[in-house]
């Protein structure tokens, strides 16, 4: 492909000048001159001048004689990335871009002049006109060499500053119409100018001294240049500066101002060089100190040997070797441990690597590789301990006794992995301690709430400073047996981020088929976790990853009834709080009726935490009386309860005795137990618009739409106008609008409230209900039946409607709770409305 002919007029150069340029190029170009497709000045020192700098300046000056007058007005443009070329500057450039190669070849066939412009953004691969600064330097190409890879190596010399008037062409290479910027006449010598010139030379000398560069020849060159503009260009061409700063100096036409800008850069470079020199001296001092310490340590070792006190390191090695033998490690583990011990023997005892290996060997020898605690296999004794520590919770106790029975018959069985799920305060964590006590095993609790780093489970690799094993291995070391009870608390609150996913690391820990060879990153050898009994706790199962949940045996622990709470308070809470507050059980007296009143009026929860706080508050009031000298016993009665605890937090009269049309009472399950839910429906004149408020979730919104569709399709059965959707708008609201609500339990309640509003018939205020609906009118099963019935009883409901398919769940509801409320199973919506009205 033929290249377009350049519109540049060739310039015939004098032979003498060309010979001088060639000679200068051979002296200047060196192996340090290189660039990534373009351009770089040789990065040797902040201020670098050739040893024969005086000769170089003379030759450059002779090259410039007459050359400026021959610069054409239209010349090729060579874009460069990360350098600014100044006058009198001679440097090699590597040219690799296609347009740049074309510009150099065009210049070589013409006058050898080329305009060097710096890119505004060095990342731009193919710069256009607007990507280049408009002020640059016209350079003479002194020498060109083609490289084997197609690039060009050129040696250029800055001749004159120039400003682009207009870009003539951009293809096949950039061509610009320029005007040269003539150097101002040398200003009159003043005291201020002389001070500026001297300061620039002195700052340059400081930099050279800080860099350890011989400055005699270089300072001779600087002292020979008296013109401020020329001195500024000479220094700037060898200073390390950002492109923007160098460009601002190039664009400054006034020589005094230009030298002022260079002087500012010199001051900054002196500060940087001073700090760099300080850092290097500090590093050298640290190295000298380390060598000195090593020498003194060797001398100390020789002195100890002469005194007969040597052998401490040998004794330590022998102690570790004996500990390895005593630990009874598996063969694979012992091989790795002895390998690390041999490495320790070959190292200097004070080296940092020796400290790391010594810590590793301490961990390996202190872990219970074979040591196990003996289980208590007396089933009746274990049952007695479980009953002593916890009231009710029959399912959990039965599962533990089953494990003990199988363990008695098959000693090699693997440890179970249980997951207790229930509201806060129902005793999940304390139940784990009780299990460990009944089994006669060590207990270790490990909280997983908010854990985001996988290394918390698997440990850190020993390459990191301060690395340690994961918390599983740490817990086993603390327990000093390989079969403890480890409780993984709050497993539903695990997090994950860029450091890894702890729940994925737990997949191996909680898998009986894999955890017999669990490998911690720090130990880097397998450890058998199959003998460990893992117990997890959670409030909800929704946030636990399905693969992790699949590895656990889930046991639900629902909330307690009022009767159960009274029994637990009488048996555990009251004695414990009385003792903690310095009272005896005889001094603090509280009846079951008062406890029931505290439960009803001051707590409303599935667990027992608030109840324990209130009982503790009563004990503190009595302890104050005792401390003031009053004689006991101190009684809490129904008369002085409000005086001791303040006004009731939950009043019985909050429940409405009658409900207006359009209101129905539903039952909901929450992580803290069951709750009642009022659903309100208002009928407004309109065109059938449905409005849902109360921060409802998608499932409840769909249940509301299904309820409206059911009411429309069965309007005749309930005395509703079949065309109500054409003349009336429906607004469904669930109070406590700031609380998000969702779930499949509100369908029956929504239909009942809607029919009540459309038929203008009120619902019984003592009837609560739960269940999902289908468009055909079926009542579908839901979860949390025990918690919901418990909430209904605590709110004084007399009747509760549940799906007939949930009848099987009534086995979990205590008998005393079923006696307090009428439970009506229903299969279809048609059965609900007559029961809701009565």
Residues 408-439: tens digit of each pLDDT: 888 877 778 889 998 888 888 888 898 898 88
Instruction: For helices 698-713 and 747-759, give the axis angle rounded to 10 degrees.
Output: 40
The token pair that represents 391 in the structure block: 């009231």
How many CA atoms does the CB half-sphere of 715 hold within 13 Å? 12
Catalytic residue status for 325? no
Among 112, 108, 155, CA closest to 3? 108
Q: In angstroms, what is the C-alpha Rg of the chain? A: 45
If you count them, how many residues does the chain have? 838
Residue 14 has pLDDT above 80, yes or no: no
pTM of the prediction? Answer: 0.56
The answer to whether the peptide bond before residue 43 is cis (omega within 30 degrees of 0) is no
Quickly state the pLDDT bin for 6 (edges 50, 70, 90).
very low
Share of the chain above pLDDT 90, in %: 28
Quickly state the pLDDT bin for 50 (edges 50, 70, 90).
very low
pLDDT digits (tens, 9 = 90+) for 668-696: 887 666 788 889 999 999 888 999 998 88
- Mean pLDDT rounded to a whole number for the chain: 82
Q: Which of 531, 565, 597, 788 is catalytic?
A: 788
CA–CA distance from 17 to each of 23, 90, 137 (Å)? 10, 15, 20
H helices present in 240-330, as ranges: 243-251, 255-307, 312-327
CA distance 193 to 191: 6
CA distance 90 to 99: 22
CA–CA distance from 19 to each of 62, 585, 601 (Å)? 11, 114, 108
Q: What is the pLDDT of residue 154?
A: 92
Residue 78 has pLDDT above 90, yes or no: yes
CA distance 436 to 488: 14
The answer to whether the peptide bond before residue 172 is cis (omega within 30 degrees of 0) is yes
Task: Provide the strand spans (E) within 384-464.
Answer: 417-421, 443-447
Q: Which of 503, 745, 756, 759 is catalytic?
A: 745
Task: Provide the strand spans (E) within 734-821.
Answer: 767-769, 772-773, 779-780, 799-803
Q: Which of 158-162, 270-274, 328-332, 689-693 shows the lowest mean pLDDT across its residues?
A: 270-274
Instruction: For helices 191-210 and 255-307, give the axis angle rounded to 10 degrees.
Output: 30
pLDDT (mean) for 278-298: 74
Q: What is the pLDDT of residue 399?
A: 85
Query: Which position has the token pair 């029959």?
Result: 394
Catalytic residue status for 745? yes
Query: What end-to-end distance do the CA atoms of the chain give, in Å?
Result: 99
Q: What is the DSSP letter of 731?
A: E
Q: What angle do CA 305, 308, 309 make, to 5 degrees?
A: 80
Q: Is 704 exposed, middle or buried (0-12, 13-18, 19+ CB in 10 A)?
A: buried
Report residue 98: phi and psi, to 5°: -60, -45
């Amino acid at each position: 492909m033929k290249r377009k002919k350049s519109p540049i007029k060739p310039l015939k150069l004098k032979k003498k000048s060309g010979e001088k340029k060639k000679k200068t190029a051979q002296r200047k170009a060196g192996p340090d001159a290189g660039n990534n497709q373009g351009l770089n000045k040789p990065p040797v020192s902040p201020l670098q001048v050739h040893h024969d700098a005086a000769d170089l300046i003379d030759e450059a000056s002779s090259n410039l004689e007459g050359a400026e007058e021959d610069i054409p007005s239209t010349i090729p443009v060579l874009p460069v990335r990360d350098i600014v070329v100044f006058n009198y500057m001679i440097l090699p450039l590597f040219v690799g871009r296609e347009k740049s190669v074309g510009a150099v070849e065009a210049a070589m066939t013409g006058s050898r002049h080329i305009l060097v412009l710096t890119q505004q953004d060095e990342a731009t691969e193919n710069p256009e006109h607007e990507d280049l600064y408009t002020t640059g330097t016209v350079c003479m190409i002194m020498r060109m060499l083609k490289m084997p890879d197609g690039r060009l190596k050129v040696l250029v010399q800055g001749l004159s500053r120039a400003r682009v008037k207009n870009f003539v062409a951009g293809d096949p290479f950039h061509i610009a119409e320029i005007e040269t910027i003539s150097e101002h006449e040398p200003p009159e010598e003043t005291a201020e100018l002389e001070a500026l010139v001297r300061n620039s030379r002195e700052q340059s000398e400081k930099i050279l001294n800080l860099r350890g560069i011989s400055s005699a020849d270089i300072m001779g060159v600087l002292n020979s240049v008296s013109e401020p503009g020329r001195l500024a260009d000479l220094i700037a061409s060898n200073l390390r500066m950002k492109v923007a700063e160098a460009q601002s100096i190039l664009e400054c036409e006034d020589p005094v101002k230009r030298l002022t800008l260079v002087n500012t850069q010199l001051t900054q470079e002196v500060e940087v060089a001073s700090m760099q020199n300080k850092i290097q001296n500090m590093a050298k001092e640290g190295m000298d100190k380390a060598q000195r310490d090593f020498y003194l340590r060797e001398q100390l070792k020789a002195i100890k040997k002469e005194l007969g006190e040597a052998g401490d390191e040998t004794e330590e090695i022998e102690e570790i070797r004996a500990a390895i033998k005593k630990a009874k490690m598996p063969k694979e583990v012992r091989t790795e441990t002895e390998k690390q011990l041999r490495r320790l023997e070959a190292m200097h005892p004070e080296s940092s690597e020796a400290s790391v290996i010594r810590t590793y060997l301490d961990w390996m020898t202190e872990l219970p590789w074979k040591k196990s605690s003996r289980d208590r296999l007396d089933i009746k004794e274990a049952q007695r301990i479980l009953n002593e520590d916890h009231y009710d919770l029959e399912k959990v106790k039965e599962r533990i006794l089953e494990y003990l029975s199988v363990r008695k018959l098959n000693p090699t069985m693997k440890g179970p992995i249980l997951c207790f799920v229930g509201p806060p305060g129902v005793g999940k964590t304390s139940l784990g301690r009780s299990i460990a006590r009944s089994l006669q095993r060590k207990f270790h609790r490990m909280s997983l709430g908010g854990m985001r780093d996988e290394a918390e489970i698997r440990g850190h690799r020993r390459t990191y400073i301060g690395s340690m094993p994961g918390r599983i291995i740490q817990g086993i070391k603390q327990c000093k047996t390989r079969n403890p009870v480890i409780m993984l608390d709050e497993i539903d609150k695990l997090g994950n981020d860029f450091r890894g996913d702890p729940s994925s690391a737990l997949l191996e820990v909680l898998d009986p088929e894999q955890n017999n060879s669990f490998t911690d990153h720090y130990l880097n050898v397998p450890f058998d976790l199959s003998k460990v009994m893992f117990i997890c706790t959670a409030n909800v199962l929704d946030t636990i990853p399905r693969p992790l949940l699949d590895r656990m045996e889930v046991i639900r622990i629902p909330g307690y009834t009022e009767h159960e709470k009274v029994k637990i308070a009488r048996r555990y809470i009251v004695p414990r709080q009385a003792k903690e507050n310095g009272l005896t059980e005889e001094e603090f007296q509280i009846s079951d009726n008062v406890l029931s009143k505290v439960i009803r009026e001051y707590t409303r929860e599935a667990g027992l935490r608030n109840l324990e706080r209130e009982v503790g508050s009563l004990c503190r009031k009595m302890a104050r009386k005792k401390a003031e000298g009053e004689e006991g016993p101190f009684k809490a009665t129904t008369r002085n309860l409000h005086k001791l605890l303040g006004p009731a937090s939950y009043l019985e009269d909050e429940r409405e005795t009658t409900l207006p049309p359009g209101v129905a009472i539903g039952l909901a399950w929450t992580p803290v137990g069951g709750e009642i839910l009022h659903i309100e429906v208002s009928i407004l004149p309109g065109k059938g618009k449905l409005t849902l408020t109360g921060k409802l979730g998608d499932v409840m919104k769909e249940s509301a739409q299904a309820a409206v569709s059911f009411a429309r399709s069965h309007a005749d059965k309930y005395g509703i106008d079949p065309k109500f959707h054409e003349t009336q708008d429906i607004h469904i609201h669930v109070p406590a609008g700031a609380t998000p609500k969702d779930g499949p339990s509100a369908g029956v309640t929504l239909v009942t409230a809607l029919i009540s509003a459309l038929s203008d018939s009120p619902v019984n205020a003592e009837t609560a209900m739960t269940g999902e609906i289908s468009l055909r009118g079926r009542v579908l099963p839901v979860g949390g039946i025990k918690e919901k019935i418990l909430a209904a009883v605590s709110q004084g409901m007399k009747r509760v409607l549940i799906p007939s398919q949930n009848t099987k769940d009534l086995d979990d509801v205590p008998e005393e709770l079923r006696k307090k409320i009428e439970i009506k199973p229903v299969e279809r919506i048609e059965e609900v409305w007559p029961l809701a009205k009565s």
